[in-house]
Amino acid sequence: MIRVALVGAAGRMGRAIAEAAAATTDVRIVACVDVPQNLPAVGGVWSDDLAKVVEPGMVVVEFAGPEGAVQAAAVCAAHGLPLVSGSTGLPAEGEAALRAAAARVAVFRASNFSVGVAALRLALRATLAAVPGEWDIEIIERHHRLKKDSPSGTALTLADDALAARGLGRDALRHGREGVVGARTNTEIGVHAMRGGTWVGDHTVLLAGPGETLELRHVAQDRAAFAHGAVAAARYVASAPSGYHGMEDLLRGPGPLTS
């Protein structure tokens, strides 16, 4: 039995992960962490402090925002516990804290835990290798009105894949356009964020060439798509060696780890 401490348990993703875990026979949420005002009256061991509920042999799963991710990384490194981290919008120092923890424990990090998004990334790389380099790339993402970070972590991950394929840096990204900005260049990638309603997650990569366009799109219709991926990541990381792991490792199974 894989025993999980769930950080951010009262949030939308936390509740979806708890539901997904409850449907399994080998993953059990045994401790939940969230801020006091969000703690429900029932359900397992609840606390506002991860360090107070962790025990040897646990896996920590966090979807608690940048501060929660950094705190979880520190606790996991100190207690020798594997970590699944799904928070987005982390600043550079937050990502550095996760990398530092990975030197001591297994850290599974993803901006999106959907198998479909992992497949979209593979398809994007293959497509960019096939089309001419002068084709334009635009990324459009849609999320619910309550999402705090913009653009989404998934959009930035897709952008990083495109930048790597074109040999460009993050300074090539264009986050929206306004005013007289001049003609589009071959060395920019547009990233556009839409917020409204209850969109769970919708990502489109548009590639435009002379006289033709190609669109790659993934639509998440329910958070269960991410929750089941997070539960699978908990299974994977429970027996994984220290280091930084991701969705491609999960899909590939045992073998060399991504950097």
Q: Is 143 a catalytic residue?
A: yes
Q: Which member of 143, 218, 228, 245 is catalytic? A: 143
Q: Is 228 a catalytic residue?
A: no
Q: Which member of 79, 144, 147, 148 is catalytic? A: 147
Cβ neighbourhood burial of 15 (10 Å; 0-12, 13-18, 19+): middle
Query: In angstroms, rounded to a whole number, what is the distance separating the alpha carbons of residues 234 and 239?
Result: 9
Residues noted as catalytic? 143, 147
